[in-house]
Structure 1
């Protein structure tokens, strides 16, 4: 009897432990509901038909407003680890400037991406850094009011600290 209870408790513990390690998926970006961006046809669709099928683009090109991007990605997160991107789809649709007809449709996935190595060095600034103690001691004895540089200037009363 004791063995059955111990075995059941062990099985329940293993199920709980393995379910805690299952990934949690999160979806972000463009979600294809009725139409897929890959279904856009070159030379047939226009800006208005693409907007009617797919809705507004995720973004447009910085330098050419005639290139639309539809983007989405899927991330998996396991327990306390950092989320990991497992799928990314980007569809770039280029339109003719004059006729607004679709000129090209390009599909990119996670495999097409490139890892960029950022330089984490900082640009040095001039001067020296002072410590917190130096900041506190350095402000002792200094007046809160600004210096009176207008002393003796015509039109000012002696001892007047108001601005002109």
Structure 2
């Protein structure tokens, strides 16, 4: 019975689309120097997110993923439309990229390196037993 359940779940492939739905006619209609923030918002809608340091950068992100059973999803297609505005609010540039610019960040291990010595749970728990408090220090009874 367990083998039957595993075989049944093993063939499940989940495909998802998240984010902006790209329409090539609409995105190609954005003209540098002619359009402004209001016309881009009417044409493309609200951006997926704006720039962290510069609110004149708008990003529209569309991503398709595929996952096999319960594994982590893998990106099969991604489109990012970056609309940059000048200080007056007019379109300065329109760029489109794909999934080739996705950065793969791999952590170096499951522990964060720290300075100092390593203590066990019990050393941390019973560390202050028997210490003498000095006046004026936090936690002391006398002032």
TM over 0.5: yes
Residue 38 of structure 1 contacts residue 105 of structure 1 at CA under 8 Å; is this kept in 2?
no
* Alignment correspondent of 1:87: 77
* Alignment correspondent of 2:115: 125
Residue 37 of structure 1 contacts residue 70 of structure 1 at CA under 8 Å; is this kept in 2?
no
* Structure exhibiting the larger radius of gyration computed from Cα positions: 1
2: CA distance, partners of 1:138 / 1:63: 45
Seen in structure 2, the aligned counterparts of structure 1 residues 40 and 18 have a Cα distance that, compared at 3 Å, is: farther
Q: What are structure 2's unaligned runs of at least 5 residues? A: 132-138
Residue 75 of structure 1 contacts residue 87 of structure 1 at CA under 8 Å; is this kept in 2?
yes
What is the TM-score with the length of structure 2 in the denominator?
0.70
Q: What are structure 1's unaligned runs of at least 5 residues? A: 1-12, 151-164
Summarize the alignment of residues 1-20 of structure 1 with structure 2, pairs less than 5 Å apart: none
1:59 aligns with 2:46: no
What is the TM-score with the length of structure 1 in the denominator?
0.62
- Give the structure, 1 or 2, with the largest relative contact order (CA under 8 Å, sep 6 or more): 2
The aligned length equals: 130
Residue 20 of structure 1 contacts residue 79 of structure 1 at CA under 8 Å; is this kept in 2?
yes
1:148 aligns with 2:141: yes
* Alignment correspondent of 2:98: 109
Q: Provide the secondary structure at the position in 2 that maps to 1:31.
A: coil
Seen in structure 2, the aligned counterparts of structure 1 residues 30 and 149 have a Cα distance that, compared at 3 Å, is: same
